[in-house]
Amino acid sequence: MNANKQSEYSELLDFINQCPVGLVKSNKAGDIELLNAFASQILFPLSIYSSCDLSNIKTILNYFDAQLVNQIDSFEPTFGPICEEHRFELRPRDSASLQFYSITINKISESVFQYVLKDITAIVRKEHELQDLIEASAMEAGKLEMSVGLLHDVGNAVTSFGTEVAKLKNSLEWRELADLDKLLNLFSSHESAIDQSMGHGKGLAILKYLRALKNSLAKKNSLLQEGVNKLYENTSHIQDVLNIQRHYVKDKVKNKRELISLFSVVEDALAIQAGIILKRNIELIKDFSPKLPRIKGDHTRLIQVVINILKNSAEAFDSILQQDRRYIKITLRALEEEGLLLLQVADNAGGFVPDKAKKLFEKGLSSKQTGTGFGLYNCKQIIDSHHGEISISSEGINKGATLSIKLPYK
């Protein structure tokens, strides 16, 4: 093998070794023929715990799930997926905490099996934490008779990966797949030479394995993206809503009022709603005046108001099929002569009939088919309790809308 081929081969092995999942190649008997660094990190403690030799993956798996090994042995097709994201758990000795793993098994050929291993402990713990948070929040809400607002949010939510969803969504663009594809094209264009240099059949076998590996990773990436997008759509702000509602319930009892920055309120709400704005490809325009005076108010309840306004504004674009430019403009400035702070949220989305403006703040009225009509009504109640004013206007259907809030600072 010449220097260039040796370099390419080394880069390929390094690429496989650094994949963000555990990859194992074995024969039909389960004897491990190839594994990357991530797989070693997962299998090593499993082999120690089970007192099984690290050389055979089926022996290790049999300790944790004998039925899974039977599933492998009874799989009759020449190739194909044997199991997808199968979960099992491990309680390390002298430890009260469980470790969670998932495994995907693909049969590449009669003599080649691929195992994809993941440590999902952090994800499962987030699921449990979020479930506990939902249950605790629902119980607290019932005690404080907050069922209307809180149960609406909780009722439309599902247990999810919590804060890990956003991180996972941002990490699903695997550049390595494109790099592997380029490498495969390069190898394919020199298929005969590679086979001759490595020995008859060996080069072709490596190419076959790499193609199967690339297809498997691409399929996994596609499934992950589909799953995360669904989770993102259904639970994009459940964690934040639950946290806000939890503090909202607590602070409502205390009737908490303190000097706060409206700028901070808006920035916190934007951070929470960044996902639904980005998802809809909406341009965010900020027009904030510097050194705004503070107001006396409830930080948590005002965040809830701004979150609801941003959510309504973003979702108003869903009724528009095609639009060259989408934007939400947020203005924040002081009306010094009146002693008021002005917060405006304007968009170029669906809009509404001008005569409907005042009715949108009525309890039970909603412009959305799936709405309950409590959003803007609750916003008005909160703004009224701060001795402020809230209004909304539109020039008509498909001409956008502007919502304005005025709060006293003197």
Annotate 257-271 with DSSP letters as a single string.
-EEE-HHHHHHHHHH
CA distance 310 to 236: 13
Contacts of 28 (CB under 8 A, 6+ apart): 110, 111, 113
* Tens-place pLDDT, residues 68-111: 999 999 999 999 999 998 888 887 666 667 888 899 999 999 99
Instruction: State residue 100 phi and psi, 5-degree precision.
Output: -120, 140
Note the pLDDT of residue 262: 93
- How many other CB atoms are found less than 10 A from the CB of residue 344? 16
CA distance 216 to 370: 39
Contacts of 190 (CB under 8 A, 6+ apart): none
Residue 401 near residue 393, CB atoms below 8 Å:
yes
Note the pLDDT of residue 248: 53
Note the pLDDT of residue 251: 52
CA distance 177 to 182: 9
Q: Which residue has the tokens 């498997």?
A: 216
HSE (CB half, 13 Å, CA atoms) of 253?
A: 11
HSE (CB half, 13 Å, CA atoms) of 223?
A: 9
Helix (H, G, I), strand (E, B) or coil at 154: helix
Note the pLDDT of residue 389: 94
Q: Domain spans of the chain?
A: 20-119, 124-236, 255-408
* Bridge partners (DSSP) listed for residue 107: 80, 113
Note the pLDDT of residue 278: 85
Q: Which CATH superfamily groups domain 20-119? A: PAS domain (3.30.450.20)
CA distance 206 to 211: 9
Structure tokens at 322: 């095609």
Q: How do the pLDDT tens digits run along the chain, 410 residues long?
A: 566 777 777 777 778 777 888 899 999 999 999 888 888 888 888 888 888 888 999 999 999 889 999 999 999 999 999 999 888 888 766 666 788 889 999 999 999 999 999 888 888 888 888 778 777 765 665 555 554 345 345 544 434 444 566 566 666 666 777 777 787 787 777 777 777 777 777 777 777 887 888 788 778 878 877 777 776 666 555 655 555 555 555 555 455 578 899 998 999 888 888 888 888 889 999 999 888 999 999 887 898 899 989 989 998 888 887 778 899 999 999 999 899 999 999 999 988 888 888 888 876 555 554 343 347 888 898 899 899 999 999 988 888 999 999 999 87
The reported pTM is 0.42
DSSP 3-state percent helix, strand, coil across the chain (nearest 5):
50, 20, 25
CA distance 222 to 173: 10
Note the pLDDT of residue 373: 38
Note the pLDDT of residue 151: 39
Note the pLDDT of residue 164: 62
Query: Among residues 24, 30, 34, which one has the least CA distance to residue 56?
Result: 30
Note the pLDDT of residue 406: 95
| Alpha carbon distances (Å) from 246 to 115, 250, 259, 267, 312 | 43, 6, 21, 20, 22
Q: Compute the Cα dihedral for 216, 275, 272, 308 and give only its sign.
A: negative
Q: Which CATH superfamily groups domain 255-408? A: Histidine kinase-like ATPase, C-terminal domain (3.30.565.10)
